[in-house]
Amino acid sequence: MSDCIFCRIASGEITGLRVYEDEATLAFMDVAKDVDGHILVIPKAHCKNILDCDSETLSAVFRTVQKVSQHLVSDCGYEGVNLLNASDESAGQSVPHFHIHIIPRKHGDGIDAWPEFTGAKEDLQAVYDRVKM
């Protein structure tokens, strides 16, 4: 999509700091400057998010997520990763091209990448009855 910023990065039309790529996916540095080592993994073919992404593309994205994560830990001095994704604006998605955030982690790095959810209001069984497949 010509008006999609991540499609334009994937095609090379816009410069990105490319960490890894293969035929179907690209990993590049996030420009947010929020945490060191913040990397995004995207499919080169456009889909918006987890809700419309085909399974082959999803598999390719997660293969790359694992490859980059293993590299961060094996070769770059990190110990673990957080993987983050927002699918839909309701979930906080700001760029409408599917992406997984990789946040490299070390013990004691002080990064709060796992919010403490304290706001559950509904009865657990009632929610279960609604979401059970």
**Catalytic positions, please?**
99
Contact between 42 and 26 under an 8 Å Cβ cutoff? The reply is: yes
Instruction: For 100-112, give the DSSP string.
Output: EEEEEE-TT----
Residues 18-77 touching ligand DGP, rule: CB under 6 A, are: 28-32, 40
CB of 93 to ligand DGP, least distance (A): 4
Size of the site for ligand DGP (CB under 6 A): 13
Distance of alpha carbon 17 from its chain centroid, rounded? 16
Residues 76-95 touching ligand DGP, rule: CB under 6 A, are: 86, 92-95
Contact between 11 and 26 under an 8 Å Cβ cutoff? The reply is: no
Residues of the shown chain interacting with ligand DGP in the complex, contacts defined by CB under 6 A: 5, 16, 28-32, 40, 86, 92-95
